[in-house]
A and B are shown apart, each in its own frame.
Chain A
């Protein structure tokens, strides 16, 4: 081992170019949000095009960056050690995602167990209740806010339960595909991975359906108090992650068809699979604490 040479990749323009894209996305995004939500204060409408231009720039740059990486990998430049670095890096990235969701789950528990009871006068907060909103009733889901906004809670056993079944099934099909990859059974791999991508897309379709139902028929909106805020931010960020995961799996499916992966050389494929399982676990947690209990 000691005589093995390390691999250090050649210099690359993409990190800098991607930073420019991120800059345009962030700078444009801040102005886009201001100009779209408060046009009286913020004149102009250049934020939106800059945001989307930056986002497209960013995605294109990342695509070109990873194309280089794939070329180098296909050219046999990557060492076994680099594969381990990639895998560890992906796992830590997923951990960072877990902590991001943790902030919102933490907000949910704090709201549910502390804020709402306190606003209702629990603990030593009788005067808070008395002086601020004496008519407020502590409850969860909070369908009537202290300020008086009313909404409805999303039940667990309609679409959400179906979506849970879909995501769980997709995890199983992906695992079958994984075993097929390791066993070198291409047909089975392609078939089951395609089913997984399809299930991801169906999940997203149903979630759109659920959001439309919430907005048009239930009065459950992002601005309907803390229940709506938590509901849409948690399920929404989860949905964004399902979208990314579906795209991820679709890309690795194309690469499977191109013959990029085998039982040994399959980092990108496994990274996508790990990401999918992570998204699945977040959903299970979400289903239990947001929809069900």
Chain B
């Protein structure tokens, strides 16, 4: 790909701040990226803990640990925490760290706004998660949000608990944070590329994030509109989701999924970019079909705006609408198929080695494809009538989100931790993390396909007796997967404390790109003067 002609100017022109101020007042993309990544990991553990409670309750039929009301709160807040707290901020953290390094920029384009984007998040989640703590330990156990992460009206309007209003305002805050973060990414990519770094020379991670950022700016405001309508329906007598006033609860679902479906791609496109960086490195070949990857990503993004009602087939809509959304959804498998083909073709006859990032990346390709295929099944309207709101759906989106999005974040961490920290992540702990996660994630989610096809509905605290055996093993897989993540915590802490083998500037011999031209760990300021990319 590209080579760097200009020497790097690594001395600090305004000296690096120290102490608490460094983190609180930062305008440095690396520090803010680190904050995002730690925040994301903390939320991953918090959301994972809620999943453990869900699985503990479901380990056998009947009620054992929590009451159904609290179970509903757990499924709801688990989903919200993972989507808005773990996956989205995790990718923003990676964008912060890597995009400026990859395009030869000194920082993000609007560094102070960048810091604001981050610092809104802990406050937003303080509001959301405080309602869970109050529900668990507070006087009178006031309910946390309990209507599912999709917060359908009227469950979230007429019947929503008092904490719904806090939830609404926290979603507004998360939206503000996401929009500002996305504006920063787009402007950085459009305006701060090093001379010679033309758009079609950009690493795919930058491309996928550029398109993701566009999706974020397009749909987060729609989510803000949806929760605003909820708020006014709840307190100011509007009738958006109330048929007696001429509105419709189904309107909520349309507005929500107009946000919600592009949101799905917001959570997976950056993952595509990461895999497209890692596979060529360890196959020691150029990425197969670079341009087609770019066009496929753009196609997926555009199609994502016209598929939203496939989440609503059983709700009822005119036949023409049903057919339109079914065919559009199936059409997405074409550009997605192009991507999977290209990754496989990149590996074809490559000099492959299987370091940790590569293990996670290949796992992603296989397991994400499983999740994609079950998605294709769900896209078929009459089939969806059978699968809707069963564990088959739960299996589908956890395959694409956990063994898809989350696994690529692990891949990214093992791939770039040497650059971030200056030390190689522990191989022993990393292997333990990988193998335990790989086996347990399949034990956890694969049987969900079977219980789902057999008719077990999602979001229930109890189930019929015939699902007992599968659910026992699903729960075992859940605890196993959850505990396996402690290996990753250990890996990260070791790197943060600089314990381990010292990393070279380019620890992976097949790696290409500007990020490997700067020392490891990357100095506080990089590319003070733009490198020239040939």
Contacts and interface: CB of A to CB of B under 8 A. Distances in A.
Nearest to A41: B162
Interface stretch (B79-87, B102-110, B293-301, B457-465): B102-110
B494 interface: no
B116 interface: yes
A142 B243 CA distance: 12
B235 A37 contact: yes
A145 interface: yes
Secondary structure at the A interface, as helix, strand, loop or mixed, is helix
B23 to A, nearest CB: 10
B123 A23 contact: yes
A119 interface: yes
Interface string B238-263: 11100111111001001100100000
Nearest to B176: A22
Contact of A145 (B6, B222, B235, B246): B246
B139 interface: no
16 contacts: A2-B532, A9-B27, A12-B112, A13-B24, A16-B115, A19-B122, A27-B127, A27-B169, A30-B165, A42-B162, A81-B192, A85-B110, A92-B182, A95-B218, A103-B258, A226-B245
A14 B26 CA distance: 10
B529 A146 contact: no
B144 to A, nearest CB: 14
A223 B246 CA distance: 11
A216 interface: no
Contacts of B246: 111, 115-116, 119, 142, 145-146, 225-227
Interface in B75-121: 105-107, 109-113, 115-116, 119-120
Nearest to A97: B221
B231 interface: yes
Given A22-B123, A97-B221, A111 B251 contact: yes
Interface stretch (B57-65, B183-191, B265-273, B469-477): B183-191
A104 B231 CA distance: 14
Given A33-B231, A229-B239, A8 B529 contact: no
Contacts of B170: 26
Contacts of A124: 318
Interface in A81-121: 81-82, 84-86, 88-89, 92-93, 95-97, 99-100, 102-104, 106-107, 110-111, 114-116, 118-119
A18 B169 contact: no
B232 interface: yes
Contacts of A102: 221-222, 225
B498 to A, nearest CB: 23
Contacts, number: 236
B303 interface: no
Interface in B187-219: 187-188, 190-192, 195, 217-219
B401 interface: no
A6 B127 contact: no
B194 to A, nearest CB: 8
B169 A30 contact: yes
B525 interface: yes
Nearest to A139: B246
A107 B255 contact: yes
B179 interface: yes
Given A38-B235, A89-B109, A99-B219, A11 B243 contact: no
Interface of B: 6, 13-14, 17, 21-22, 24-28, 105-107, 109-113, 115-116, 119-120, 122-124, 126-127, 162, 165-166, 168-170, 172-173, 176, 179, 182-184, 186-188, 190-192, 195, 217-222, 224-226, 228-229, 231-232, 235-240, 243-248, 251, 254-255, 258, 318, 525, 527-530, 532
Nearest to A226: B246
B248 A115 contact: yes
B106 A8 contact: yes
A8 B120 CA distance: 22
A10 interface: yes
A291 B225 CA distance: 21
B27 A103 contact: no
B251 A5 contact: no
B225 A100 contact: yes
A103 B222 CA distance: 5
Nearest to B247: A226
A40 B218 CA distance: 39
Nearest to B186: A92
A78 to B, nearest CB: 12
B113 A15 contact: yes
B100 to A, nearest CB: 10
A19 B25 contact: no
Given A6-B530, A146-B246, A19 B116 contact: yes
A235 interface: no
Given A26-B172, A84-B191, A145-B245, A95 B166 contact: no
Nearest to B218: A99
Contacts of A12: 25, 27, 112, 115
Contacts of A114: 248
A1 interface: yes
Contacts of A86: 110
